[in-house]
Amino acid sequence: SQKIEQNSEALNIQEGKTATLTCNYTNYSPAYLQWYRQDPGRGPVFLLLIRENEKEKRKERLKVTFDTTLKQSLFHITASQPADSATYLCAPSDNYGQNFVFGPGTRLSVLP
Amino acid sequence: GAVVSQHPSWVICKSGTSVKIECRSLDFQATTMFWYRQFPKQSLMLMATSNEGSKATYEQGVEKDKFLINHASLTLSTLTVTSAHPEDSSFYICSAPPRQGRETQYFGPGTRLLVL
């Protein structure tokens, strides 16, 4: 069965550093992979989508990579700020959003 | 961007009662909506896919007679938790893709249900 793992349940980093979150998947060949941010008591908010034929995607301080050989996606937040503290979820999917599954999430805390 | 709303944002009910949660797409039409459940410190688990004008598709292990889904219009899907019990207490979130073929989903703010 499909399995999605995110590197750690919680990650603490110092403000200004780069946060790197990992998403690994097995028994799955997603057409694309998305990253979402979820704050406590709120619904997830879409951040970035990367397709299987793309190596890297950037948006402001965010960068996502997708390695289909390693079956892994890395999510980077550069120049992290306390406001970046949240839970980040990866979600691989096949075409057209079918078989959309969330990873367990990584709770990021950026310390001032 | 596309906006999805949920009502109520939180509800407390007695065991054995039924609770209805509404999910609305405010500025787009959604032929499909998804319902998720999230327990504390866990990820979202897909419960069912709601299809406008047809029966919902439930994930394995989700009781369709307990979690009734109705998608009567292109902007509204409802989830009714029938005969709720304390173990049904959770955070329920709906989502919808803005248009057919669009991969990204837009999520509602969630509904916190507490069954006493």
Q: How deeply is A31 buried, as exposed, middle or buried, from its count of CB atoms within 10 A (0-12, 13-18, 19+)?
A: middle
> What does the alpha-carbon distance between residue A85 and residue A11 come to, in Å, rounded to a whole number?
10
| B95: closest chain A residue by CA | A43
User: Which residues lie below 8 Å from residue B52, measured CB to CB, with a gap of 6+?
Assistant: B30, B31, B32, B71, B72, B73, B74, B77
Give the pLDDT of residue B1.
63
Nearest by CB to residue B110, choosing from A43, A100, A104, is A43
Structure tokens at B108: 């509602």
Q: Which residues in chain B are closer than 8 Å to A46, comparing Cβ atoms?
A: 104-106
Binning pLDDT at 50, 70 and 90, where does residue A94 land? Answer: confident
Q: Is the pLDDT at A24 greater than 60, yes or no? A: yes
- Over range A27-40, report the average pLDDT: 90
Structure tokens at B10: 């939180």
Contact (CB<8Å) B43/A89:
yes
Contact (CB<8Å) B109/A42:
yes
- Over range A81-97, report the average pLDDT: 88
- Over range A50-61, report the average pLDDT: 93
> What does the alpha-carbon distance between residue B21 and residue A83 come to, in Å, rounded to a whole number?
31
Tell me whether A44 touches chain B (CB under 8 Å): yes
Q: Is the pLDDT at A30 greater than 90, yes or no? A: no
Contact (CB<8Å) A89/B102:
no
Contact (CB<8Å) B102/A97:
yes
User: Which residues lie below 8 Å from residue B31, measured CB to CB, with a gap of 6+?
Assistant: B51, B52, B74, B100
Q: pLDDT tens digits for B43-91?
A: 899 999 998 888 999 999 999 999 999 998 999 999 999 999 999 999 9
Cα separations (Å) of B75 from A19, B64, B106?
A: 38, 22, 13
Q: How deeply is B92 buried, as exposed, middle or buried, from its count of CB atoms within 10 A (0-12, 13-18, 19+)?
A: buried
Tell me whether A39 touches chain B (CB under 8 Å): no
Contact (CB<8Å) A102/B43:
yes
Q: pLDDT tens digits for B5-54?
A: 999 999 999 999 999 999 999 888 888 899 999 998 888 999 999 988 88
Q: Which residue has the higher pLDDT, B72 or A108?
A: A108
> What does the alpha-carbon distance between residue A92 and residue A1 come to, in Å, rounded to a whole number?
14
